[in-house]
Amino acid sequence: MTELVQANLRADFAYYRRSRLLLAFMLVFLLLTSLSSLPAFFGDSGVQSFNALQEIVSNLNICLMLLSGGVALFVISSHLRNRSLKMVFTKPCKPSVWLASAFLSAVIVAMLLHLVVLLSAVGLSYWWHVPVRPGLVFILTDNLIASIGVIAYLTLLASVAHPAVAATFALIFNADMFYAAHEWTQGALQSGHAGLFMRILDKAFDFLYLALPMVQAFGKQTETIYQSYRVTHGSWKYLAYALGYAMILSAFCYLTSLYALQRRKYI
């Protein structure tokens, strides 16, 4: 079992190293993040430096989350689409092992990317003489946990749909999107637009908000940490809660993906 996981991980890492599509995807996101972070490098005072660091980390967090999801999407869909899984499943390697390895490889890549960003942020803090606060570690760990959830969700979507459909679906159908939509319908209802259509829409948005995976399940509770980079003693527990949520989501997505993979009429 361990040998099989290791063999699949090695193959997946070779895929990440050599996939030109993934490389292009990464370069585009890094370029966009660099461009959006560029103004932050031109501040002088300590406060401006802290704000710049916050902005850079915030931009990189979004980039890392998208990259992590992209890695999972590419590794699953490319193997499914070029049918190379025939070569795996006609050996004593079960779909469950292959899928777990693919998921794990994407998580390892996400961990490495987050570590690089953490070290870069610490380096920038020293360079700009901004004190390194525990909030930085908290934020990047929280973002990594959220990325694991994104990886799980995209693993599921890539197992059942074309990668373009999966990516579009993930961008539209997530809890954050429907939380905003639900707030909008709530506002409309409170301001007197209480027609049947609006009430149905409100219920539908509420249901979708509850049913779809959340990117940051405890975003409200950790909001202040993202602003100040200060972590109170009681805030660390939210990382454990977020990890618990990500694990449950991952288990659900893994089992559903496995079911979909085994139900495929033709591998």
Binding site for other proteins (CB under 8 A): 3-4, 6-7, 10-11, 14-15, 18-19, 82-84, 86-98, 262, 265-267
Q: How far apart are CA 215 and CA 15, in angstroms?
A: 26
Which residue number, 7 or 212, has a Cβ lying nearer to other proteins?
7
Inter-residue long-range contacts of 9-15, CB under 8 Å, 24+ positions, other chains counted = 9/101, 9/104, 9/105, 9/108, 12/75, 12/101, 12/102, 12/105, 12/106, 13/105, 15/74, 15/75, 15/78
To other proteins, the closest distance from the beta carbon of 84 in angstroms equals 5
To other proteins, the closest distance from the beta carbon of 214 in angstroms equals 33
Cβ density class 103-131: b for 16+ within 10 Å, e for less: bebbbebbeebbeebbeebeebbeebebe
Which residue number, 87 or 115, has a Cβ lying nearer to other proteins?
87
Which residue number, 83 or 203, has a Cβ lying nearer to other proteins?
83
To other proteins, the closest distance from the beta carbon of 94 in angstroms equals 4
Classified as helix, coil or strand, 76 is: helix
Which residue number, 8 or 125, has a Cβ lying nearer to other proteins?
8
Which residue number, 92 or 192, has a Cβ lying nearer to other proteins?
92
Q: How far apart are CA 213 and CA 162, in angstroms?
A: 20
Neighbouring C-beta atoms of residue 183, cutoff 10 Å? 12
User: Alpha carbon of 34 to those of 45, 141, 147, 161, 262: distances in Å?
Assistant: 21, 21, 20, 32, 41
Q: Are 87 and 96 in contact (CB under 8 A)?
A: no
To other proteins, the closest distance from the beta carbon of 108 in angstroms equals 18
Which residue number, 93 or 170, has a Cβ lying nearer to other proteins?
93
To other proteins, the closest distance from the beta carbon of 262 in angstroms equals 7
To other proteins, the closest distance from the beta carbon of 107 in angstroms equals 20
